[in-house]
A = this chain, B = another copy of it.
Amino acid sequence: MSQQHKKSVKVFAPATVANVACGFDIIGLALDGVGDEMELRLGDTPGVRITAIEGADLPLEAAQNVAGVALLAMLQEYGQPETGIEVVIRKRIQPGSGIGSSAASAAGAVAGANILLGNHFSPEELVPFAMEGERLACGTPHADNVAPAIMGGFTLVRSYQPLDVIRLHTPADLWVTVIHPQIEVKTSDARGILKQQVLLKDAIRQWGNVGALVAGLYREDYQLISRSLEDVIVEPIRAILIPAFYDLKLRCREAGALGGGISGSGPSVFMLSKGEENARNVAAMMEQIYAPLGVDYKIYVSRISTSGVKEM
């Protein structure tokens, strides 16, 4: 264990889509071209120091920052009290966008620091540390954004007790188009309107789609993926939070999308497509629908990242 590790590292931490249609609370995916940038270095002072945050007004104090608490959890497990980590965060993902802003910071922090520690932890082992960032951000230590942010591609959270996160196969030609309407949807509100009970017949339809979506990913069967991108449980309730949601969904499918839904708890909406051309046509359609609405928006087109957090 005396080998020399890097003293500093620069990483890209991807934006992510959680709640992939039928896969509410379990299936997420990582974007390739959209994400935060972070610099981490081993410091002389023990503990975690966030030295700068660009692009967002977020607390520098480690215990109040999602990247900070994730690193603190990691260092506690690492168990070498003299270790010091310094972090610079360049936020490119807007907080509250629904594409995993807090998850990117938490995932980038622990995956970056892990490089400095000579990959002491496996990607799976990093997930619980990053989940502490989510606990700080929204009160629940959920994994459906941090898992794809760390592991890349599509991920599935089978269980929380014990934590069991699985990397799914990701078809090479699958692209994502995301529109982020610049409105506020509070995660707590989006959760609050859900019903605690659902109809068994709806639940069965949902798990039929989940099974088929996973099979579609492994078979690289884009039509099966398309048919499975259906959410009969959560989307019908949350759709009211998103301007023009059903219009968007219908016309994006007509424009070539395989399907999609609400990203995380919104307000972003994602669409999957086969190939870049379709994904760009879908982006144009999103623009056409949103331009007259008088709501500001951003649109992203990206391949699905197969690597998760990566060195720059």
Contacts and interface: CB of A to CB of B under 8 A. Distances in A.
Interface of A: 22-27, 156-159, 164, 166, 168-169, 194-201, 203-215, 218, 224, 227-228, 233
Contacts of A166: 212, 215, 224
Contacts of A26: 204, 207-208, 211
B228 A158 contact: yes
Given A168-B215, A218-B218, 7 more contacts: A24-B207, A156-B208, A166-B215, A194-B200, A197-B198, A197-B200, A203-B233
Q: Could you say which of A24, A194, A198, A201 has the most chain B C-beta atoms within 10 Å of its C-beta?
A: A198
17 contacts: A25-B208, A156-B215, A158-B209, A158-B211, A158-B228, A159-B209, A166-B215, A168-B211, A197-B197, A197-B198, A197-B200, A203-B203, A203-B206, A203-B207, A210-B211, A214-B214, A215-B218
A36 B168 CA distance: 38
Nearest to A195: B200
Contacts of A203: 198, 203, 206-207, 233
A140 to B, nearest CB: 12
Contact of A211 (B27, B196, B224): B27
Contacts of A212: 156, 158, 164, 166
Contacts of A27: 211
Given A156-B215, A169-B218, A24 B204 contact: yes
A196 B204 CA distance: 11
Contact of A158 (B196, B218, B227, B233): B227
Given A211-B210, A212-B164, A214-B211, A159 B198 contact: no
Contacts of A25: 204, 208
Nearest to A162: B227
A92 B132 CA distance: 57
Q: Could you say which of A24, A158, A199 has the most chain B C-beta atoms within 10 Å of its C-beta?
A: A158
Contacts of A213: 211
Nearest to A197: B197
A159 B208 contact: yes
